[in-house]
Amino acid sequence: MHALIVASHPDRQSLTHAVAQQVEQGIATSGPHTAEIADLAAEGFNPSFNAADFAQFQGKGPAPSDVRAEQARLQRAQALVLVYPVYWWSFPGLLKGWIDRVFTNGWAYEDNNDGKLVKKLEHLQVHLVAIGGADMRTYDRHGYQGAMKLQIDHGIFGYCGAPVVASELLLPVDGQIPSGHLDTAHAIGQRVFEARAPS
């Protein structure tokens, strides 16, 4: 089986990239599986939803070539792992723009004129690995984790039928980044193809 790991951070030396690499290594050691990392910043993905994207949404033109290339990568995968820092209690803009442009009407879902929604990504299991700067007390006190789950798990992936089978939030403890985060990331990778969607 194959996993696409999407990392969204401009600094190649960041914890985000270190975590993505450990997830990839964990997948490699878990069996006859493969993985590739899509480094959105290094690859220069353009997150801006543009006129060509809007034309595709309206059914007046094809998806742009860069979008089709990302969709092809996703079609080769049985699992999608998103590794990202939490910016303003959500995805970074680059990752949100990737989703805005790649998860298109007609490919990720189909919003028919009769009002019926067809979910087209039920085969794709999603794993979220978010790296936050606040501690769990802050997340719990303000309900941020629940808000993120509603927005991302339900609002994006639930709409397309792609089950979120695992969601990890890597946070500082007593103001410090635990050294064990990389071990946790490796273990996440080892479990990618063991996890199943919650019933």
Q: To the nearest whole percent, how much of the chain has pLDDT over 90?
A: 86
Averaged pLDDT for residues 32-47:
97
CATH number of this structure's domain 2-191, picked from the four choices 3.40.50.360, 3.90.550.10, 3.60.15.10, 3.20.20.80: 3.40.50.360
Amino acid at 41: A
Task: Give the CA angle between residues 129, 134, 138 to the nearest 5°.
Answer: 110
pLDDT digits over 74-90, tens only?
999 999 999 999 999 99
DSSP structure string for 58-97 = TTSSPPPHHHHHHHHHHHT-SEEEEEEE-BTTB--HHHHH
Q: Report residue 114's pLDDT band, with 50, 70 and 90 as the boundaries.
A: confident
- Identify each DSSP E strand in 78-175 by its residue range: 79-85, 109-111, 117-119, 125-131, 164-170
Residue 196 reports pLDDT greater than 90: no
DSSP 180: T
Domain ranges of the chain: 2-191
Contacts of 184 (CB under 8 A, 6+ apart): 168, 170
Distance CA 99, CA 86 (A): 16
pLDDT digits over 143-176, tens only?
999 999 999 999 999 999 999 999 999 998 877 7
